Structure 1
Amino acid sequence: MVDLTKIRAIDIHTHAEEPCGCHADDGYDDLQATMAKYFRASWSHPPTVPETAAHYREQNIAAVIFPVDAERETGYRRYKNEEVAELAAENDDVLIPFASIDPHKGKMGAREARRLMKDFGIKGFKFHPTMQGFYPNDRMAYELYEAIAEEGGIALFHTGQTGVGSGMRGGNGMRLKYSNPMYMDDVAVDFPDIKIILAHPSFPWQEEALAVAQHKPNVYVDLSGWSPKYFPEILVKYCNSILRKKVLFGSDWPMITPERWLADFEKIAIKDELRPDIIKGNAARLLGLS
């Protein structure tokens, strides 16, 4: 159990790597290597979940961790949600488990979601429209959303373009159109009781993301995937004002380390009195830890 008195921050956005990253035959290693080069990550191979836990424990930071189920669209075999949950349970002083289910799985996916929340303590679900190949407001996904809503789960959606597939032939087959945050407006209307997180500064749709988060009480924004030094001016302005209770620290580990993100965050024009909530307090409340 995460002890808020012992951690300095909560990273709302980290990726579980291995064993899905050890299959040289499915192309996942190539994607990871290209992304590591893009983000200038220092590792030679993605860290395991226990290695991730050790790093975060050393930094006195808690982390929401999840895999991405995109095997239908990409061919990359998914990391089993149960395995991620079990590893997180072994490191529950720093790790908070989310899961990932491709919404194309329909009723099967909805049953899996309910089981994961009831039996494995899963707190929420990561969706990656670009990698999973779907519009978030496609009614095909609504059965899964209904299951998440019934169990009080959180839904975290990749938005914008953060570098996944960047520079690869055809963008590695990934279509950016799916991750326009404006599609989340429909989801927020149709599922007003699900807490929704729009992940990343939503380039090139930053203003759309801010508009949805400001307008819909159940929508939050995480700041992962970019170093804060590259945040657009309007995002910083909203962090300092209208959305000060709805913006969340996220790194996008392992591509960006939490210590690098936090060091860069110290250098941008955020009001001092708001920093504790952005890096810890807002997430603690959203996750039900405080």
Structure 2
Amino acid sequence: MKVAAVQFTSTGDTNGNLERATELIRRAAGEGARLIVLPEATAQSFDSGRLDTQASDFDGPFATGLREVAEELEVTVIAGMFRPADAVERDGKTINRVSNTALITGPGIHRGYDKIHTYDAFDYKESDTVRPGTDLVTFDLDGVTVGVATCYDVRFPEQFRDLARAGAQVIAVPFSWADGPGKREQWRLLSAARALDSTSYIVAAGQSRPGGEAAAGEASGPTGLGHSVVVGPTGARLEEAGYEDEILYADLDMAEVEKARKALPIL
């Protein structure tokens, strides 16, 4: 199965992000990709203001726009978006939280995975504005079972093992990983480790680095450091991007998953 990991920088303009995502999906589909993974926060970047003001559900313009192009091209698309969730009280204020959702859309499918592990770390608390999800998600594409995780989930190996035990041979990971000292090295280690933990392919698509390579290594907040990657089931990086906009392609052979799981029966 040919896959694509699409790396670009979204903005605060949801309509503009939909147009850009559509353009990149068409490009990837034109290269024969059947599964096309876009970054976390494709619909609206994290640094662009309140997420609840543009959040919309699966019947909203962003999700339906991606569904239309995916169905037209007969591909499956995974892309980060935000959906209305609940209201909570924080320090005397009512906050309308959203779900950090990886939309899964294409012929015969239109659903999502809600990020389970919110980024409550390093003096930041994503759960203040994002309701954590609760359910693992897998789906079938061309006879291959695909699982979905998002960004900070990659620090939790049990989620990836559970996805593999649920049948996942490929795990798609939209992400928007903060840059800063050591952050690239952490991402590269964790993405490879989760492939090895689960003996699955990892197809991870991230936000490219604002400012490109010239800003590499500087603290960026949750706005991306690039380095989208496709990792094989034994932890080998098959394709890896740099800091700039890029589309990665890889042909995934499920026989390699079977071979890895026979040799390493860790599940």
Which structure has greater helix proportion?
A: 1
Structure 1 length-normalised TM: 0.42
Which structure has greater strand proportion?
A: 2
